[in-house]
Amino acid sequence: MSKVALITGITGQDGSYLAELLLEKDYTVHGLLRRASSFNTGRIEHLYQDPHEPHPRLRLHYADLADGSRLVTLLEQIQPKEVYNLAAQSHVRVSFDEPEYTGLTTGLGSPRLLEAIRMIGLECRFYQASSSEMFGATPPPQNERTPFWPRSPYGASKVDSYWMTRNYREAYGMFAVNGILFNHESPRRGLTFVTRKITRGVAEILAGKRDALYLGNLDAVRDWGYAPEYVAGMWAMLQHTEPDDYVLATGTAHTVREFLEFSFSHVGLDWQKYVRFDERYLRAAEVDSLIGDASHAGAVLGWVPKVLAPELARMMVEADCAAV
């Protein structure tokens, strides 16, 4: 009998890599799909299995984190042993434009799921996609004991979800864990996050499709890792004997400016000739510096990241050049 997992956010960057990993490990994987007027399954197309075939191991279900009764019905039907809550309005800048919607989904999605699990008496392990954005203005290095000081509606909503997850663990003895993940990127990263915006920009400039790239704050420091390594960490958290919270990070720090340098220099271009400032990409409040200390995950789970920002930038530029 293969293990059964449910992934919310399966169509996103992390959801697609996690689905791949679990299918490789012989799980049956169920994913939530948001109904949209055009296809939003591009990242998992290569994993698609015809539902008419006998026993497909990837199954998609229409649902939205804002619809609590649908979550109850699905959890009862699917009876997953592991639930990975990755769905969110995940864009920090957009959360300033849509604070209420961000709260309804990024903030309230996890208590909806946790309460649904409790209501139907489902025995399962629960992973919450918490974020280094919760540390906000607290100076680095940041680990599991660092106080939160969120600087955006997104960060504040993630703090809400973090505490709800801990509360269900402490109040009801649920196996519920927070993965506090620092920025992780890949060729599947959304096109409006800064790393992918840069690497796609490089590819389009090289191909003569554009002559400038507009960005905001180049001084922000981030700890960028490689997404497939981070989803392996999520899985490891749910396999441990005890539920706990873990930071995943590389412990290395680079500015946006340095990521520009890594990306443009890889194809022999000088970024200063192409990058322009646009204030619309500034945030009402910025998170200046995130640098993680993942020693707890290293000691308990044996989790060690290998890919660092310079190699990540090269990998993403090459993928974007091939695609463009």
Query: Is 129 in a helix, a strand, or coil?
Result: strand
Binding partner of residue 59 among ligand G4F, ligand NAP, none, CB under 5 to 8 Å per kind?
none
Question: What is the Cα–Cα distance from 202 to 267, expressed in whole angstroms?
Answer: 8
Displacement of CA 304 from its chain's centroid (Å) = 18
**Annotated catalytic residue: which of 16, 131, 157, 289?**
131
Annotated active-site residue 17? The verdict is no
Please report whether residue 184 would count as binding ligand NAP according to CB under 6 A: yes
Beta-carbon contacts of 84 under 8 Å, excluding residues fewer than 6 positions away, are: 5, 6, 7, 8, 9, 15, 18, 127, 129, 234, 238
**Do residues 201 and 317 make contact, with C-beta atoms less than 8 angstroms apart?**
no
Is the alpha carbon torsion for 289, 294, 296, 301 positive or negative? positive
**Window contacting ligand G4F (CB under 6 A); options: 118-126, 128-136, 161-169, 244-252:** 128-136
Per rule CB under 6 A, is residue 156 in the interface with ligand G4F? no
Question: How would you classify residue 292: left for phi > 0, otherwise alpha for psi between -120 and 50, otherwise beta?
Answer: beta
- Under the binding rule (CB under 6 A), the answer on residue 32 touching ligand NAP is yes
- 101 near ligand G4F, judged by CB under 6 A: no
By beta-carbon distance, which residue lies closest to ligand NAP? 12
Question: Cβ closer to ligand NAP: 84 or 262?
Answer: 84
Q: Indicate which single residue of 74, 88, 247, 316 sits in contact with ligand NAP (rule: CB under 6 A).
A: 88
By CB under 6 A, name the one of 40, 77, 192, 272 that touches ligand NAP. 40
76 is catalytic: no
**Choosing from 133, 161, 168, 289, which is the catalytic residue?**
133
Residue 283, interface with ligand G4F (CB under 6 A)?
yes
| Buried-state track 167-180, b at ≥16 Cβ within 10 A, e below 16 | ebbeeeebbbbbbb
- Percent helix, strand, coil in the chain, to 5, is 45, 15, 40
* 178 forms part of the interface with ligand NAP (CB under 6 A): no
* Of the residues 90, 146, 165, 199, which one makes contact with ligand G4F according to CB under 6 A: 90
Active site residue 115: no
The pair of three-digit structure tokens given for residue 119, joined into one six-digit string: 């209501």
Residues 189-248 that bind ligand G4F (CB under 6 A): 192-194, 197, 215-217, 220, 222
Active-site positions read 131, 133, 154
